[in-house]
Amino acid sequence: MVSTFNTGSGGRIPRAQDNRGFPLIIDAHSHVHDPVHQHLALLDEAGADRAVLFATRPHPERATDLASFHREMSVLDAALNGAPGDGYQSAWQELESALAAHPGRFLGFRSVRLDRSGDQLAAEVDQVARGFHGIGELTPAPGAAARIEPVLRAATDHNGLPVVVHGSAPTTEADLSTLAALARRYPAVPLVISQLGGAHWLTAIDLARETPNIYLELSTASIVFAVRLAINELPDRTMFGSDAPYGDPVLSRATIERVTPPGELRDRVLGGTMGEVLGL
Tens of pLDDT along 155-188? 999 999 999 999 998 899 999 999 999 999 999 9
pLDDT score, position 20: 41
pLDDT score, position 135: 96
Q: What is the average pLDDT across 87-100? A: 84
Judge whether 256 and 48 are in contact, CB under 8 Å. no
Q: What is the average pLDDT across 78-93? A: 68
Q: Which pLDDT band, with edges at 50, 70 and 90, does 154 fall under?
A: very high
pLDDT score, position 280: 86
pLDDT score, position 9: 33
pLDDT score, position 12: 34
pLDDT score, position 81: 58
Residue 4, pLDDT > 50, answer no
What are the start-end ranges of the E strands in the chain? 4-6, 12-14, 26-31, 50-54, 106-110, 134-138, 163-165, 191-193, 214-217, 238-239
pLDDT score, position 91: 82
Burial of 184 (0-12, 13-18, 19+ CB in 10 A): middle
| H-type alpha helices, 48-142 | 66-80, 88-101, 118-131
Q: Which pLDDT band, with edges at 50, 70 and 90, does 77 fall under?
A: low
Q: Which pLDDT band, with edges at 50, 70 and 90, does 13 fall under?
A: very low
pLDDT score, position 14: 41
Tens-place pLDDT, residues 36-54: 899 999 999 999 999 999 9
Tens-place pLDDT, residues 228-256: 999 999 999 999 999 999 999 999 999 99
> What 3-state class would DSSP assign to 150?
helix
Q: Are strands 12-14 and 4-6 parallel, antiparallel or unpaired?
A: antiparallel
| CA 243 centroid distance within chain | 7
CA-to-CA separations, 8 to 77, 90, 127, 250, 276, in angstroms, rounded:
34, 35, 42, 11, 32
Q: What is the average pLDDT across 86-93? A: 75
Rounded distance, CA 244 to CA 61, Å? 10
| H-type alpha helices, 223-263 | 224-233, 249-259
Mean pLDDT value across the chain: 86
Mean pLDDT is lowest, of 34-43, 55-64, 216-225, 242-251, for: 55-64
Amino acid at 136: G
Mean pLDDT is lowest, of 69-83, 105-119, 203-217, 238-252, for: 69-83
